[in-house]
Structure 1
Amino acid sequence: MGQNPYDHSTIDNSLIKNNVNTYLEQFAAFINIPTVALQPYKNEFIVRQYNKGQVIYYSSDELTHLYYLIDGYILREHYSVNGDVYRVLNKGEHLYPLHNLFQDKTTNEMCTALTDSIVMAVPIELIEYICRNHDKVFIQMYKYLCENEKQLTEYNMALSAKSAKARVEKVLIYLCHTIGEDHEEFYEIKQFLTIQMVSDLASVSRETTGHIVNELKTQNLLLKDQKNWMISKAILK
């Protein structure tokens, strides 16, 4: 593997110590590497608990870490040079922002916890080092990057829909694919999702979004109680 460039002497007191080995095993499985291969770098991984509404990071500078969402739901807001805002919702077992790997690029992005969340911060240089020395990890990262691009394409296509109703429906389908729990006949999205979030994601007014959601309810395509959203797979047709 060559010379190891990392100093492992610093231990962050914010580690969730009772479960850090479990989290390390989970991350190792996620990137397709034996857990034992990550043990020498154990102290590089910083695990923190974030409360609902807490900012996980905000950066207009070069990020030094990738973030592995162990549990919970987060909102990422990416600001382009033109002032456009791209919003992405992620659920547990997701590594981001992958587009920062192997390039010097400024990321104007804010990440906020939508629910109580557990997040592992991993130095980008460490991930790049592991990728260079473990082909299977590099391939796995590439697969995740392709999956992210596919989801982004789906979101962009939703935004390009001509009518407000089509945009809201396609955004809901996009959310089903990215943060929904897949059941036999429907997708379930947890209670953190609000009409305002759907409105923001679809670039449709809150009032119009509410009317469209109510229409989907009357068509038995959507059920929304005080807790969760249940979206029928018939909406895909």
Structure 2
Amino acid sequence: MSRTTETFQSSIQELSKILEVPSGLIVPHLSEIYVRNYEKGQVIYYQGSEADSIYLLIEGYVSRERLNENGDDYLMLNRGHTLFPISHLFEQEHYEESCTALTDALIVRVPKNLIEYLSKNNEDTFVKIFTLLRQEQQISINRNMALMGRNAEQKVINTLRILGETIGNDQGAYYEIDKVMTVTLLSALAGVSREKASHVVRGLSNNNLVLKNYQTWTISKSI
């Protein structure tokens, strides 16, 4: 078995698992499903383009950015084993956000109408999609609340806490985020200047609450 074939098969198994649908129901549609490696910085889809697909991130990190007509910018990150953008299922005709690979990423592209069909005909899949929608909504609420911090320092701390919970690897007393974090990215997520974000992180580092080793960040749960 070639490595490409093995990657495709394992990716389909992951898709079957996350949708909670027997792989046998996906097999007839394999010709419509694509597994692709994206390089860091490569755009996966653009805001305003036709929303004809849903994506399963197998490995790596992506950023999803929404820019409204007032110039307001909303940015969120996803890590491996995430299905997105599920809020576009059933009704959205165009993507309301852009998505870019923050690192090299392995991604499964699935026709949106296939997931909608599976959701309508399999109770377990419908419940799973509903659960994922609620989880994403809660993450968005938490993200908005983080940005309502009383000052820039609190916004940075709140954002670090949410990043640990959503894209970090749980290591017990702390979260570890690998290969993706920079002060510039943190400042964009927290909505503060890079200088302020750097100052806050430096203070947290002095108290051993945040440790940086290049792009691997360790964030204490007691932050």
> Does the pair score TM above 0.5?
yes
Instruction: Give the counterpart letter for 1:98 in structure 2.
Output: I
Could you say which residue in structure 2 is the equivalent of 1:222? 210
Shift of 1:54: 1.1
Could you say which residue in structure 1 is the equivalent of 2:103? 115
CA 1:104–1:217: 2 relative to 1, 3 Å: closer
Which of 130, 137, 147 aligns to 1:142? It is 130
CA 1:124–1:234: 2 relative to 1, 3 Å: same
Matched length: 221
Distance in 2, matches of 1:38 and 1:172, equals 38
Shift of 1:106: 3.1
Distance in 2, matches of 1:199 and 1:98, equals 26
Distance in 1, matches of 2:67 and 2:215, equals 31
Shift of 1:171: 0.3
- Percent of residue pairs identical: 38
Could you say which residue in structure 1 is the equivalent of 2:40? 52
Shift of 1:115: 0.8
Alignment of 1:34-73 (within 5 A): 34-73=22-61
Shift of 1:68: 0.7
Alignment of 1:1-237 (within 5 A): 16-235=4-223
Shift of 1:83: 2.6
- CA shift digits 1:181-234 (9 cap, x unpaired): 001110001132100000001110000110000000111111111241011111
Distance in 2, matches of 1:195 and 1:45, equals 36
CA 1:55–1:27: 2 relative to 1, 3 Å: same
Contact 2:103 2:179 in 1 (8 A): no
Contact 2:65 2:99 in 1 (8 A): yes
- CA shift digits 1:25-65 (9 cap, x unpaired): 11101111111121111111111101111111113133100
Higher deviation after alignment, 52-61 or 146-155: 52-61
The one of the two structures with greater contact order (alpha-carbon pairs below 8 A, sep at least 6) is 2
Instruction: Give the counterpart letter for 1:205 in structure 2.
Output: S
TM-score by length of 2: 0.95
Instruction: Give the counterpart letter for 1:19 in structure 2.
Output: T
Higher deviation after alignment, 17-26 or 48-57: 17-26
Distance in 2, matches of 1:155 and 1:144, equals 16
Aligned-pair RMSD on alpha carbons? Answer: 1.4
Structure 1 gaps, min length 5 = 1-15
CA 1:36–1:156: 2 relative to 1, 3 Å: same
- CA shift digits 1:130-157 (9 cap, x unpaired): 1111011010000001000111111000
Secondary structure (helix, strand or coil) at the match of 1:108 reads: coil
Bigger Cα Rg: 1
Shift of 1:105: 4.3
Secondary structure (helix, strand or coil) at the match of 1:19 reads: helix
Secondary structure (helix, strand or coil) at the match of 2:5 reads: coil
Could you say which residue in structure 2 is the equivalent of 1:11? none
Instruction: Give the counterpart letter for 1:25 in structure 2.
Output: Q
Instruction: Give the counterpart letter for 1:111 in structure 2.
Output: C
Secondary structure (helix, strand or coil) at the match of 1:121 reads: strand
